[in-house]
């Protein structure tokens, strides 16, 4: 009559520290994970009933144990008979037979599982999956990178593409999440491990191999920490001298400046006037501090704004040209210095007029990366629709800006602040203009009769989740086969 040993604890509370290994390979090992555990037997030839046959208690030396006979039969331990309720010491290699007859009962070998000296205790971390997603592609991070100083995280490929596009337009790079000026970016190996753990636990969140390959082809951030030197102030006059940066704030009559000259740090500890005679001219917040331009110059009470595009300073003047983007409320200096006819110089960061100007003065030649929830298949359909109409993207956007101006468009989903107040004359930044164009292209597609779509797009059924569909971001086939430029009809209250 053969017996199978089984641990009475249904779920191990600790790591496995010992095993009972049966001599017959047809039976499974009995794992022991508690410091004290009762082993049960199953009489396989006649019944499924389980009976206690011994209790094993771990000794304090962690390498041996005590075994107590809990059955009505005698137990053989290394050929020594152990009667009911008797206790005997066992160690690694001890042979245990749950009965008095070696020929009848299945015999076990007690084995202590060696502790891996190099192993570390596992720490369980609970994380909301939504907090492990890249805000650019809305998927779980892939080859995650972290930007500083705001410490937001993105896919390497997504941020690399954002970085490339940003550098084409301006001298600084803003965080896609919070719009803070990015000083550094680097790969984050700790979060990469979390990324991998999430994907192992939720395989449905994995991207296709094709999408991963495409994302990797965009990625060019290889180092743990890469300095974006275009975000710092201009280089000192010799290569040995380090770059300097300053952050200035006059809102509360205070100024903090850190300048690194010849390898030494100097910190200004006192508040001072922008026109302090002892100040180095390079430390002046803006060109109008100490110099009158168009009848205005800064004084001790002038509040200054820091441009989110270039990091430079300008006086806050509510009676002057717009200085804040109506779409995101951030300050930009391009329109202000253009109106003052002040040219950019090496000593003074200053945005181009192109970074911040009225919607009606803007032009566009390609569909923004953000359009149609970054679904490249829908972007391609829109591009072909425009081409097939014999028009340019600029023609279409101009028409829909006019519709916006005439309030012919529902602005509920417009991804900009002060959506109801925006007109063709509103000043907005480049990022907000891309968002506006993406919004207008959505309505352009919604308003287009189905029979005017390209042939391969006419046959597609609408996705139940429409523009809110998450699958379109990680399933290439789904993104191509379903129309996502439509309102959700399932799984959304929008």
* Domain identity same for 92 and 205: no
Instruction: Tell whether 457 is covered by a domain.
Output: yes
Whether cis (ω within 30° of 0) applies to the bond prior to 149 is: yes
pLDDT tens-digit readout, 113-167: 876 543 444 556 667 788 889 989 888 999 999 988 888 999 999 998 888 888 7
Residues 108 and 133 occupy one common structural domain = no
| Bridging pattern class, strands 482-483 and 461-462 | parallel
Residues 367 and 459 in one domain: yes
Least confident of 19-33, 405-419, 442-456, 457-471: 19-33
Q: Which of 99-103, 214-218, 446-450 has the lowest mean pLDDT?
A: 99-103
What DSSP line would sit under 62-93, residue for residue?
SSEEEEEE-SSS-EEETTEEE-TT-EEEEETT
* Most confident stretch, 44-53, 283-292, 315-324: 315-324
Q: What is the pLDDT of residue 16?
A: 85
- The CA R_g of the chain, rounded to the nearest whole Å, is 35
In a domain, 342, yes or no: no
Same domain assignment for residues 84 and 146 = no
Reading phi first (left if > 0) and then psi (alpha if -120 to 50, else beta), residue 327 is in alpha
* Inside any domain, residue 446: yes
Q: pLDDT class for 228, splitting at 50, 70, 90?
A: very low
Does residue 251 fall inside a structural domain?
no
Tokens of 171: 């001298």
Give backbone dihedrals phi and psi of 403, rounded to 5 degrees, phi first: -65, -40
Mean pLDDT of all residues belonging to the chain: 78
Helix (H, G, I), strand (E, B), or coil: what is residue 309?
coil
> CA-CA distance, 109 to 18, in Å (whole number)?
10
pLDDT band at 251 (very low <50, low <70, confident <90, very high): very low
Last residue of a domain, one of 112, 137, 172: 112
Residue 483 is predicted with a pLDDT of 93
Asked whether residue 94 falls in the same domain as residue 139, the answer is no
Q: What is the pLDDT of residue 346?
A: 63
Instruction: Report the distance separating Cα 72 and Cα 81, nearest Å.
Output: 13
Number of CB atoms found within 10 A of residue 49's CB:
9
- Distance set, CA 494 to CA 136, 453, 473, 485, 486 (Å): 21, 25, 19, 14, 11
User: Residue 263: which region, alpha, beta or left (left: phi > 0; alpha: psi -120 to 50)?
Assistant: left
In a domain, 287, yes or no: no
Q: Read off the CATH number of the domain in which 174 is found.
A: 3.30.40.10
- Give the CATH number for residue 33: 2.60.200.20
Q: Are 147 and 175 in contact (CB under 8 A)?
A: yes
| 216 within 8 A of 261, measured Cβ to Cβ | no
Question: In this structure, what DSSP letter does residue 197 have?
Answer: H
Stretch 250-257: mean pLDDT, rounded? 27
Q: Do 108 and 136 fall within a single domain? A: no
- Tokens of residue 396, six digits: 């279409």
Confidence (pLDDT) at 86: 92
Burial group, residue 86, by CB count within 10 angstroms (0-12, 13-18, 19+) = middle
* 8 pLDDT more than 90: no
Report if residue 466 sits inside a domain.
Answer: yes
H-type alpha helices, 316-355: 334-340
CA 115, distance to chain mean position in Å, is 36
Q: Are 52 and 85 part of one and the same domain?
A: yes
Q: Would you list the DSSP string of 421-463?
A: G--TT-EEEHHHHHHHHHHHHHHHHHHS-GGGS-HHHHTPEEP
Helix and strand element counts for the chain (H, E)? 10, 24
Q: 59-114 pLDDT, tens per residue? A: 888 888 999 999 888 999 988 899 989 999 999 989 998 888 777 788 889 998 87
Q: At what angle do helices 156-169 and 209-218 cross, to 10 degrees?
A: 40
Please check whether residues 105 and 143 belong to one and the same domain.
no
Q: Is the pLDDT of residue 183 over 90?
A: no
Model confidence pLDDT, tens digit, residues 349-362: 888 888 899 999 99
Residue with the bigger pLDDT between 259 and 282: it is 282
Same domain, 160 and 98: no
Say which residue the tokens 């891996």 belong to: 116
> Same domain, yes or no, for 149 and 206?
yes
Looking at residue 99, the DSSP 8-state letter turns out to be S
440, with CB counted inside 10 A (0-12, 13-18, 19+), is buried
Q: Are 459 and 433 in contact (CB under 8 A)?
A: no
Say how many C-beta atoms besides its own lie within 10 A of residue 338's C-beta: 19
Q: Which domain holds residue 93?
A: 3-112
Structure tokens of 139?
């998927």
466 shares a domain with 430: yes
205, 230, 255 - which closes a domain: 230
The residue that leads in pLDDT, 386 or 16, is 386
Across 237-388, the runs of DSSP E, i.e. the strands, are 245-249, 254-261, 264-267, 304-306, 313-315, 356-358
Of the candidates 72, 103, 100, 101, the one whose C-alpha atom is nearest the C-alpha of residue 86 is 72
DSSP 130: G
Residue 105 lies in a domain: yes
Q: Which whole-number Å values give the CA distances from 475 to 142, 397, 420, 472, in the listed order? A: 15, 30, 35, 5
Report how far residue 240's alpha carbon sits from residue 374's, in angstroms, rounded to the nearest whole number. 44
- CA 128 from chain centre, in angstroms, equals 12
Which element (helix H / strand E) includes 215? helix 209-218
Residue 145: inside a domain: yes
What is the model's pTM? 0.46
Distance CA 58, CA 37 (A): 9
Same domain, 85 and 134: no
Which residue, 214, 230, 246, sits at the end of a domain?
Answer: 230
What tokens were used for 184?
Answer: 């550094």
Phi, psi dihedral angles at 476 (to 5 degrees): -60, -40
Domain count, the chain: 3
């Amino acid at each position: 009559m053969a017996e199978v040993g089984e641990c009475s604890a249904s779920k191990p509370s600790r790591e496995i520290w010992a095993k009972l290994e049966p001599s017959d390979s047809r039976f499974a090992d009995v794992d022991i994970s508690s410091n004290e555990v009762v082993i049960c037997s199953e009489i396989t030839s006649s019944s499924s009933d389980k009976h206690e046959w011994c209790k094993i208690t771990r000794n304090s030396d962690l390498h041996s144990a005590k075994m107590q006979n809990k059955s009505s039969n005698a137990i053989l331990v290394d050929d020594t008979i152990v009667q009911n309720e008797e206790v005997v010491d066992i160690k690694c290699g001890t042979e245990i037979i749950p009965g008095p007859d070696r020929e009848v009962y299945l015999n076990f070998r007690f084995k202590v599982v060696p502790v891996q000296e190099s192993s570390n205790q596992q720490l369980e971390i609970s994380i909301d999956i939504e907090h492990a997603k890249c805000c650019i592609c809305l998927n779980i991070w892939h080859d995650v990178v972290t930007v500083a100083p705001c410490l937001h995280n993105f896919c390497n490929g997504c941020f690399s593409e954002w970085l490339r596009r940003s550098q084409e337009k301006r001298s600084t790079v803003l965080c896609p999440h919070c719009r803070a000026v990015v000083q550094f970016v680097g790969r984050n190996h700790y979060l990469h491990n979390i990324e991998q753990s999430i994907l192992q636990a939720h395989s449905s969140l994995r991207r296709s191999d094709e999408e991963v390959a495409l994302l990797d082809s965009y990625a060019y951030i290889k180092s743990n920490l890469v300095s974006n030197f275009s975000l710092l102030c201009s280089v000192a006059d010799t290569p040995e001298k380090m770059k300097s940066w300053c952050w200035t704030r006059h809102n509360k009559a205070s100024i903090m400046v850190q300048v690194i000259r010849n390898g030494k740090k100097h910190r200004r500890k006192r508040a001072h006037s922008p026109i302090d005679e002892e100040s180095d001219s390079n430390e002046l917040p803006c060109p109008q501090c100490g110099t009158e331009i168009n009848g205005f110059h800064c004084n001790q009470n002038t509040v200054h704004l820091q441009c989110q595009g270039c990091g430079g300073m300008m006086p806050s003047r509510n009676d002057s040209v717009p200085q804040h983007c109506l779409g995101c409320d951030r300050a930009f200096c391009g329109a202000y210095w253009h109106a003052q006819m002040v040219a950019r110089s090496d000593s003074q960061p200053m945005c181009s007029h192109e970074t911040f100007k009225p919607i009606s003065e803007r032009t566009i030649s390609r569909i923004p990366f953000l359009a149609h929830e970054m679904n490249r298949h829908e972007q391609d359909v829109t591009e072909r629709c425009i081409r097939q109409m014999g028009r340019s993207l600029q023609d279409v956007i101009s028409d829909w800006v006019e519709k916006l101006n005439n309030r012919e468009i529902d602005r509920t989903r417009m991804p900009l602040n002060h959506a109801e107040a925006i007109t063709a004359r509103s000043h907005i930044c480049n990022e907000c203009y891309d968002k506006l164009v993406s919004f207008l292209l959505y309505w352009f597609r919604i308003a287009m009769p189905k029979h005017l779509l390209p042939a391969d797009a006419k046959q597609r059924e609408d996705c139940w989740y429409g523009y809110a569909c998450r699958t379109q971001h990680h399933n290439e086939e789904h993104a191509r086969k379903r129309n996502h430029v439509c309102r959700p009809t399932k799984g959304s209250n929008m």
